[in-house]
Amino acid sequence: MTGEATTLHPAALSRPLSPLLALWPLLPIALFLGAFFVYPVLQLLTLSVRTPAGEMTAQNYLRIVSDPIYANVLAITFKIAFWTTLVSILGAYPVAYLLATASAKRRNSLMIWVLVPFWTSFLVRTFAWMILLGRNGAINRMLISLGITDAPVALIYNLTGTLIGMSHAMIPLAIMTMLPVMQTIDPNLARAADTLGARRGQTFWRIYFPQSMPGVSAACIMVFITSLGFFITPALLGGARETMITQVIITQVQELLNWGFAGALAVFLLAAALLVFALYDRVVGMATLAGASASVGRARPSMLGRVGARLGGAILGALGNLCAAVAERWERAMPGSAQGVLGKAALRLAFGFVIGFLILPALFVIPASFTAGAAVEFPPRGFSLRWYQTYLSSPDWISATYNSFAIATMSGLVALLIGTMAAFALTRRRIPGKTAVLALVLSPLIVPRVVIAVALFYLYSRLELVGTITGLVIGHAVLAVPYVVITVMAVLSTYDQRYDQAASTLGASPLRTLWRITLPQIRPGLIAAFLFAFITSFDELTIALFVTGGAVSTLPRQMWSDMLLQINPTLAAVATILLVVMTLLLFAGEYLRRRSP
């Protein structure tokens, strides 16, 4: 696979541009992140090496080293992110596989269920889990009434609760990242393997699984990095030990006004996360993500690099072989016909379980919104539409809804445009220090949002963007760009460039090839990337509150202020309306797409 992609590189055919000039698609992202992320955030982070009087000091960093609490919290943060990634990937893979191998029609209607968690705000979702998983919650009551347990099980206020809440948020992201990659896998390869006598298990583990690796790899990175920044979910659903480093940073920023030390902690987190990223790149290899060119792009692969790449390849190979061996053993013990049936049943069961998990909070929120009582409860008290009336008759809620849609759409489009350009350059061109570029692109996901928010406020006050929608769109696009780059890179890495080559041989200009051949084929990846960008903005609270001083109302901001004393059923009503509207929009889009020739 590797050799093929290098020899048939279209860039190799049409390369009149000088190497530096060929990097122009990276220019927009460099300017954008440079101006609205690197510059303001670096300015804030320099506070960590200065005393209030302005002299240089290492005091903040010495403090981190001298007190074991910070390393301890960082270790917990990485541990929680690791488990979340593992659970999310294991949950997402069978769903993505089943969706990728289903017919287009079935896939699109099933897809809508996967997206359900996206449309229920993280505030509402976290609260729903608190009620569902509690001691007297619906799940414990069900377990007791079914006689599975005598006393309530501790599902929440511990690591379990944290992982439930976090993987619920991350599984859709993982599915949506893997799916476009899996969709580009040519089903004929599996058929060929079948024809050549491979068993079903063998075909999967030796043919399909390796080809899906770029998607898995991208999903791992996105879920892991995103999980590092979680703090509300672990704080509300976790126990005494689930303290995340972001929470400690926020305390320093907000409660102690010690921005120097907060900056030092942010640098500490960033450094640790990028170290993990670099190691991951060496061992598993972002090569799987950035196409073959990543390894080629390195002028002189270092010793560690080569060993790492070998090691990574060996690990993956061994994993595949092990699974194949287990599968073969299993298959031999079974008559051929039973295998197929059983395999399919297991896959469907896993699919149903994961989808059930994803829509569970929504199943709770919808009835709760029709309560006649004043609190969100399960089961709801009586029936009324008063909370819908509250929403629809409130200009505050309506304008917040409008703002959220407008800001999310605009920041999604900005991120999609510059992120896709960067993804093309990163997958297809030889770029020195590709890992470093990727690390920079991922950084907005690692630096705590409160740090970005404070940094942007200072920048915006000079640009007169404080309190403007433009400022908010830019801030949200900064957060969304990493998702776009990784998602599009993942889908491009499995894209068969011989199509482009064929088009250019037939006389199509590069632009025409891009527009008529490449983009339509990677469409699922582009849609996923836009949805990630959209939802990043749609669910964002910190930057929305900070850079506008609360002047531009968005849905999360409105929900936040509404749930101050307790969550009231208006939030459940809003969540239900969003859920229904977004789902209908997706169905309508799907319907129109199928009707158009």
Of 235, 323, 359, 363, which one interacts with other proteins (CB under 8 A)?
A: 235
Q: At closest approach, how far in Å is the CB of 460 from other proteins?
A: 8
CA-CA distances (angstroms) from residue 522 to 395, 508, 527?
40, 18, 9
The reply to whether 248 sits near other proteins by the rule CB under 8 A is: yes
Query: Which is closer to other proteins, CB of 96 or CB of 169?
Result: 169
Query: Which is closer to other proteins, CB of 134 or CB of 312?
Result: 134
The reply to whether 210 sits near other proteins by the rule CB under 8 A is: no
Q: At closest approach, how far in Å is the CB of 38 from other proteins?
A: 19
Query: Which is closer to other proteins, CB of 182 or CB of 547?
Result: 547
Q: Which of 181, 210, 215, 179 is nearest to 193 (CA)?
A: 210
The reply to whether 269 sits near other proteins by the rule CB under 8 A is: no
User: Rounded to an integer, what distance in angstroms lies between the CA atom of residue 597 and that of residue 474?
Assistant: 36
User: Rounded to an integer, what distance in angstroms lies between the CA atom of residue 550 and that of residue 447?
Assistant: 22
CB distance 351 to 95 below 8 Å:
yes
Of 21, 255, 333, 597, which one interacts with other proteins (CB under 8 A)?
A: 255
**Tokens 């909370």 -> residue:** 387
Stretch that binds other proteins, among 21-29, 69-77, 196-204, 338-346 (CB under 8 A): 69-77
Q: At closest approach, how far in Å is the CB of 52 from other proteins?
A: 9
Query: Which is closer to other proteins, CB of 305 or CB of 467?
Result: 467
Query: Which is closer to other proteins, CB of 408 or CB of 454?
Result: 454
Q: At closest approach, how far in Å is the CB of 187 from other proteins?
A: 48
Structure tokens at 12: 């190799």
The reply to whether 93 sits near other proteins by the rule CB under 8 A is: no
Structure tokens at 516: 């008529």
The reply to whether 131 sits near other proteins by the rule CB under 8 A is: yes
Q: Which of 136, 183, 178 is nearest to 156 (CA)?
A: 136
Instruction: Find the binding residues for other proteins in span 133-152 (CB under 8 A).
Output: 134-137
Structure tokens at 97: 């596989």
Map residues 16-55 to x or -, x wherever contact with other proteins holds by CB under 8 A: ----------------------------------------
DSSP notation for 351-368:
HHHHHHHHHHHHHHHHHH
Stretch that binds other proteins, among 102-110, 163-171, 252-260, 431-439 (CB under 8 A): 252-260
CA-CA distances (angstroms) from residue 518 to 6, 9, 499, 501, 523?
18, 14, 8, 11, 9
Of 375, 385, 519, 581, which one interacts with other proteins (CB under 8 A)?
A: 375
The reply to whether 268 sits near other proteins by the rule CB under 8 A is: no
| DSSP β-bridge partners for residue 56 | 50
The reply to whether 169 sits near other proteins by the rule CB under 8 A is: no
Query: Which is closer to other proteins, CB of 75 or CB of 580?
Result: 75
Q: At closest approach, how far in Å is the CB of 562 from other proteins?
A: 5
Query: Which is closer to other proteins, CB of 19 or CB of 549?
Result: 549
User: Rounded to an integer, what distance in angstroms lies between the CA atom of residue 112 and that of residue 587?
Assistant: 8
CB distance 246 to 445 below 8 Å:
no
Residues of the chain by 3-state class (helix, strand, coil), percent to 5: 80, 0, 20
The reply to whether 447 sits near other proteins by the rule CB under 8 A is: no
The reply to whether 259 sits near other proteins by the rule CB under 8 A is: yes
Q: At closest approach, how far in Å is the CB of 257 from other proteins?
A: 5
User: Rounded to an integer, what distance in angstroms lies between the CA atom of residue 8 and that of residue 124?
Assistant: 50
The reply to whether 393 sits near other proteins by the rule CB under 8 A is: yes
- Cα 384 to its chain centre, rounded Å, is 37
Q: Which of 260, 93, 118 is nearest to 182 (CA)?
A: 93
Each as own residue / partner, the long-range contacts of residues 57-62 (CB below 8 Å, 24 or more positions apart, any chain) are 60/260, 60/261, 60/263, 60/264, 61/264, 61/267, 61/268
User: Rounded to an integer, what distance in angstroms lies between the CA atom of residue 597 and that of residue 592?
Assistant: 10
The number of residues that bind other proteins (CB under 8 A) is 62
Query: Which is closer to other proteins, CB of 123 or CB of 517?
Result: 123
Structure tokens at 284: 């598993």
H or E element at residue 438: helix 434-446
User: Rounded to an integer, what distance in angstroms lies between the CA atom of residue 70 and that of residue 63?
Assistant: 9
CA-CA distances (angstroms) from residue 377 to 19, 130, 342, 360, 546?
62, 11, 40, 15, 32
Query: Which is closer to other proteins, CB of 160 or CB of 394?
Result: 394
Stretch that binds other proteins, among 114-122, 170-178, 461-469, 487-495 (CB under 8 A): 461-469
Of 55, 197, 303, 462, which one interacts with other proteins (CB under 8 A)?
A: 462
Q: At closest approach, how far in Å is the CB of 497 from other proteins?
A: 48
Sign of CA dihedral 118, 119, 121, 126: negative
CB distance 531 to 84 below 8 Å:
no
CB distance 382 to 372 below 8 Å:
yes
Stretch that binds other proteins, among 2-10, 300-308, 356-364, 368-376 (CB under 8 A): 368-376
Query: Which is closer to other proteins, CB of 175 or CB of 451?
Result: 451
Map residues 542-571 to x or -, x wherever contact with other proteins holds by CB under 8 A: ---xx-xxxx-----x--xxxxxxxxx---
Stretch that binds other proteins, among 287-295, 351-359, 457-465, 524-532 (CB under 8 A): 457-465
The reply to whether 178 sits near other proteins by the rule CB under 8 A is: no
H or E element at residue 27: helix 27-33
Nearby residues of 52 by Cβ (< 8 Å), 6 or more positions away: 260
Stretch that binds other proteins, among 65-73, 282-290, 323-331, 472-480 (CB under 8 A): 65-73
Of 23, 26, 45, 73, which one interacts with other proteins (CB under 8 A)?
A: 73
User: Rounded to an integer, what distance in angstroms lies between the CA atom of residue 279 and that of residue 485?
Assistant: 20
Of 26, 95, 115, 130, which one interacts with other proteins (CB under 8 A)?
A: 130
Q: At closest approach, how far in Å is the CB of 444 from other proteins?
A: 19
Stretch that binds other proteins, among 109-117, 210-218, 278-286, 391-399 (CB under 8 A): 391-399
| DSSP β-bridge partners for residue 448 | none
Give the binding site for other proteins (CB under 8 A).
67-69, 72-73, 76, 127, 130-131, 134-137, 157, 235-236, 239-241, 243, 248, 251, 253-259, 373-375, 390, 393-396, 450, 454, 457-458, 460-462, 466-467, 545-546, 548-551, 557, 560-568
